[in-house]
Each structure stands twice: as structure tokens, then as C-alpha cells.
Amino acid sequence: MAVKKKATGKSTSSKSTAAKSSDSPSATSKSAKKKTATTAKKSPPKKRAPAKKKKEKPSVVLKLYWGVFNQSAKRVAVFDFDEKKNAQKKAKELTKSTDTPHYVQRVKEAAE
């Protein structure tokens, strides 16, 4: 349990009296001028190393297709991107004939 001290009403802070005596306006401006005079010397700019060249990756052209997949995620058929309706028809036909669900998904492949 901590013991509380009663406030006496008088402030006996040594910091406040010391701060008043040393913080005269003429003293701070002189010391500030000295600091800026010594730090005003500029060093020559540093030379930077040449930038590293980025390696160019060989450009690969990707072509977009519609793929018909079974429930095991195996591709059963592939259609061009503009033939989405045909891909959906094929998926419905395979779903009815095999009793396993088939779905259509986008496929990206490298063009030759």
C-alpha cells in the first residue's frame, strides 16, 4: 500500500528557477548562431552508383480459352474464348449423360 503525501501548496522546483536564469534571449541566440555557423559547411555531393539494369524476361503471349472440366478438375474439352455458349452446352450435355457435374472455366495458355 502506497503512502500519499499531502500537498503543501508551495512549489519548490529547482528546474523552474534554473530554467529562468539560463534562458535569457541573448544567450540562446548567440549559441544558435555558433551552431549554424559550424554546420553551414556543405560537404560535396556523394556520387551514386549506376542503376542496375533490369533483366528482360522473354515475352510470352497468353491466349484465353474456355475449358470444360469434370468434378475431378480434369479438363474434358477446350473452346475458343468467343465460343462460351458452346462450352456451356457441352458442360450441360456431359452432366446429363454421365451424371457427374461439369463446369466451364477460363483457361490461359501460351499462344504458339
Q: Is residue 92 part of a domain?
A: yes
* Residue bearing cell 556543405: 42
pTM score:
0.47
Q: Kindly tell me the sign of the dihedral angle through the C-alpha atoms of 82, 85, 88, 89.
A: negative
Q: Is residue 85 part of a domain?
A: yes
The one-digit pLDDT tens for each residue of the chain (112 residues) are: 566 666 665 555 545 444 455 555 555 555 555 555 555 667 777 888 888 888 887 888 999 999 999 999 999 999 999 999 999 999 999 999 999 999 999 999 998 7
Q: Is residue 82 part of a domain?
A: yes
Task: Give the total number of structural domains in the chain.
Answer: 1
Write down how long the chain is.
112
Position 18 scores a pLDDT of 47
- Give the three-state DSSP class for 56: coil
Q: Is residue 10 part of a domain?
A: no
Q: Could you list the residue range(s) of the whole structural domain that residue 67 is in? A: 62-110
Cβ-contact 62, 108 below 8 angstroms: yes
DSSP 51: P
